[in-house]
Amino acid sequence: MPDGTSSQIAGAIGGTDADQRAAHDRIGAEFIGLLGADRVILDPLRLLAYGTDASFYRLVPRVVVKVDTEREITAVLAACRRDRLPVTFRAAGTSLSGQAVTDSVLIVLGEGWNRMVVERDGKLIRLQPGVLGADANRRLATHARKIGPDPASIDSAKIGGIAANNSSGMCCGTSDNSYKTLVSMRLLLADGTLVDTGDAASLVRFSASHGVLLERLAELGRATKANKELAARIRAKFAIKNTTGYSINALVDFEEPVDILQHLMIGSEGTLGFIAEITYRTVPDHAHKASALLLFPDIGEACRAVALLKPAPVSAVELMDRAALRSVEDKPGMPAEIRGLADGVTALLVETRAEDVGGLDANIAAIATVLAGVTTLGPAVFTSRADEFGKLWKIRKGLFPAVGAVRKAGTTVIIEDVAFRIEDLAAATLDLQALFAKHGYHEAIIFGHALDGNLHFVFTQDFAIDSEVERYAAFMDDVCKLVVETYDGSLKAEHGTGRNMAPFVEMEWGRDAYALMREIKSLLDPLGILNPGVILNDDPKAHLRDLKPMPKADPLVDTCIECGFCERMCPSAGLTLTPRQRIVGWREISRLADEGGDTARETELRTLYDYQGLETCAACGLCATACPVEIETGMLTKALRGRRQSPARRRIAALAARHFGT
C-alpha cells in the first residue's frame, strides 16, 4: 500500500496531477447533482478556508462536500472509492496534528449529525459525530453525569473528532477516554459497509459478509497475545497516555473481533473508517469541588508530590513550570502569590471533587495528609468558593493564549504533547527545558496533566524562513530522541498522530508493532484512500511539508491562532465563512498583495471575499467571547468595509449617522 500525502496517493493510483484535477472536477459536478450546489464547495476562497484546521499544516482541498446523512456519506465515499480519490472527514477542525486537512476531497459534517439519546438514566449516551462535547455534557447534567473524554477544546470539539483522536484532558486520564468508555458504534468502512456493533441483526449480516475480515482481526489478536514481548510492550505503552499510531491495545484487550474492530476505530483519525454514531458509558459529574494552588521549590519536589497524589482522591493535578507562571503573572486577576517567584519554582494546581460537602472535606483532609511529606512554599489552602476557584483556574487556562497573543506577527504558536512515566517526569521536564535552551526557544513554557505524566510545551515558530524550519526540525528530532530513546514515553499523548508525528511512529513503537499497524491499515483500507499520509507515512520529512503560512494581515487579527473556537458562535458559519475562515482568507489576500505577481488570484479572492467575508459577517462580536486571544473578527470586517468605501460614500454615511433618529 502506498503512503504519503494525499497528492502522492492520488498520483500513485490515478495518473498525473492534471488527470487528478479533471477527476476532482468531474466528481465535484457529480456531488452537485447528488446533493445540490449549496452543499458542494468548489470556489477558491472557501476551498482555501477549508484547507485550515487548528494545526500548523495546510492542504487545500479540491472539493469540499457537506453531508447530512449516512446515505449521503455512503454515496460520496462510493464515488471517491470508484475514482480512487482520497477523502478526509472533518467534524469541527480543532485537531492539532494535521489530521483534518487534505488536498483531495474533504467531507464535512453538516447539520444532520446532532442527535443525542440519553439512556439508562444517564448511564449511557448515544451521540452522532456532529454533537459538541460540551452539548453532550449539558444534556447529561440533569443526571449528574458527563462523558469521559474531557479535552480542553470540549466547548468547540465535536464527538466525531473526540472519538477519532481518542482525545482526553485534565481528568479522564487513561481510564475514562473514548477507548475505555466505548460501548458500541455505527461505523462506515472504506468499502461502504455500515455496521452497528450494538445491533445483533447488523452484526449477523456483517459476520456473513465480512467473515474473512473478522477472522483476520481475531488472528492478529491471537498472534499478538502469543508474542509475550510485544503484548507486554503494548500494555506498558498504553499504561500512560498514548495516541501515537493505532490503538493496537485492542489486540491484547479483547477476544471478539468486533470488539477489536470498534476499538481500533478509536484514535484512528479517519484512516480506517467513519464513526457515524458512538455510545459511551458516562461517568459521574460531582457537583462539589475544591482547588488549591501549591508552589514547590523545584520540579523534583513537585513531581514527588505528584507521585504521592496519584492514589489520593484528586480529580486533576496540573503542573506549571516557572516560565508558564511568568507568562501570566502580570495579567489582570492573577493571584499575587505567583509573582516574583524564584527560578525553578514549580506549581501544581490540584482539584478534588465529591458528591457532597462531607465527602469533599474528607478528600481535602486526605490530600493534606499526603502533602505533609513534601516541601512546599506555603500551606495547601483549598477553596470551594466559585470566585476564588475560578481565579486559580484562570492561571491554567491563560497559559496557551499568553504565548499565542504576544508572539511576533507572522509566526505560529505550537503546542506539543508528550507523556512520560510519573517516575521520569521531573528528569524529563528538566531535559525538555534544556532542549528549549539548546535550540533557542526561550519563550517556551511547560504545563500539563501531571497525574498522567502528560506534558504540553508551547513555543512560537516562524515557518516562512528556511533556517527557522531547519531549527524546528532539529529541535523535534531531539525531542523525539529524548522521549523515545531516553524515557520510552509517548510522542503524542492526547492530540493524535496526524501528519506531525507520522514519520516517528515506527521509531516509538518498533518494527513489530509498526508492522501490525500497517497490516491493520491495509486490511481496512486496501485502496489507501482514507486520510492518506496521516498516522502512517513513509516520508521522513512529512512533518516538515505543507506548513501553514501565517502572514501579517491586520493588527486586529494577527494574533489569531486559527484554533476554531470561535466557529460555534458565528451566526453566518453555515452560510459562508466562519470568523477563523475570514481571517484565513484575508491573510492570503494580504500575502498576495504584499508579494505581488499573482494579481489574477488576488482579484478573484477579493471579489469572493466581498460577499463571503464582508457582506455576510454580522459583526456581532460573539466570536470574541470564545476566542482565547480575544479577537473580534467583526472589527476587521468593519475596518475592511470602511476601506472599500469611497471618500464620498463615507461622507454620506457619516452625515446619515449624525442625523439618524432626528
Residues 349 and 484 in one domain: yes
Query: Is 607 a residue whose pLDDT tops 60?
Result: yes
Kindly report the backbone phi and psi dihedral angles of residue 292, in degrees, each rounded to the nearest multiple of 5, phi listed first. Answer: -145, 145
- Quote the CA–CA distance of 388 and 399 in Å, as a whole number: 18
Strand blocks (E) in 13-86:
40-41, 63-67
What is the model's pLDDT at position 266? 99
Residues 120 and 84 in one domain: no
Burial of 201 (0-12, 13-18, 19+ CB in 10 A): exposed
Hey, how many other C-beta atoms are within 10 angstroms of the C-beta on 553?
Answer: 23
Give the tens place of pLDDT for each residue, 283-331.
Answer: 999 999 999 999 999 999 999 999 999 999 999 999 999 999 999 998 8
Q: Could you tell me which of 611, 631, 641, 495 has the C-alpha nearest to residue 567?
A: 631
Average pLDDT over residues 505-514: 98
Give the tens place of pLDDT for each residue, 395-405.
Answer: 998 898 888 88
- The HSE-up count of residue 146 (CA atoms within 13 Å, CB side) is 19
Query: Is 382 a residue whose pLDDT tops 70?
Result: yes
Residues 349 and 485 in one domain: yes
Average pLDDT over residues 541-556: 97
Whether 451 contacts 310, CB under 8 Å:
yes
Q: Could you tell me which of 227, 308, 263, 559 has the C-alpha nearest to residue 409?
A: 559
Higher-confidence position of 18 and 634:
634
Instruction: Give, as one character, the DSSP assignment of residue 342.
Output: P
Average pLDDT over residues 265-271: 99
Q: Could you tell me the pLDDT band of residue 387, with boundaries at 50, 70 and 90?
A: confident
Residues 230 and 349 in one domain: no
Q: Which amino acid is at 468?
A: E
Query: Is 262 a residue whose pLDDT tops 70?
Result: yes
End-to-end C-alpha distance for the chain, whole angstroms? 73
What is the model's pLDDT at position 7? 55
Question: What is the pLDDT of the chain when averaged over all its residues?
Answer: 94
Distances (CA, A) of 604 to 44, 46, 98, 494: 8, 12, 27, 40
Domain hosting 328: range is: 286-495
Taking each continuous run of H as one helix and of E as one strand, the counts in the chain are 26, 17
Burial of 51 (0-12, 13-18, 19+ CB in 10 A): buried
Q: Could you tell me which of 339, 446, 433 has the C-alpha nearest to residue 403?
A: 446
- Quote the CA–CA distance of 480 and 476 in Å, as a whole number: 6
Residues 274 and 290 in one domain: no
Give the tens place of pLDDT for each residue, 11-39.
Answer: 445 578 888 899 999 999 999 999 999 99
Of 111, 136, 164, the position where a domain reaches its end is 111
Strand blocks (E) in 42-102:
63-67, 87-90
Q: Which three cell numbers stand for residue 534?
A: 496521516
176, β-bridge pairs: none
Q: Could you tell me the pLDDT band of residue 224, with boundaries at 50, 70 and 90?
A: very high
What is the model's pLDDT at position 2? 38
Residues 128 and 258 in one domain: yes
Of 91, 111, 131, the position where a domain reaches its end is 111
What's 155's domain CATH number? 3.30.465.10
3-class DSSP assignment, residue 455: strand
Q: What is the model's pTM?
A: 0.94
Of 257, 284, 311, the position where a domain reaches its end is 284
Whether 217 contacts 522, CB under 8 Å:
no
In a domain? residue 551: no
Percentage of the residues of the chain whose pLDDT score is greater than 90: 89
- Quote the CA–CA distance of 591 and 234 in Å, as a whole number: 47
Q: Which amino acid is at 145?
A: R
Burial of 1 (0-12, 13-18, 19+ CB in 10 A): middle
What is the model's pLDDT at position 193? 98
3-class DSSP assignment, residue 371: helix
Number of structural domains found in the chain:
4
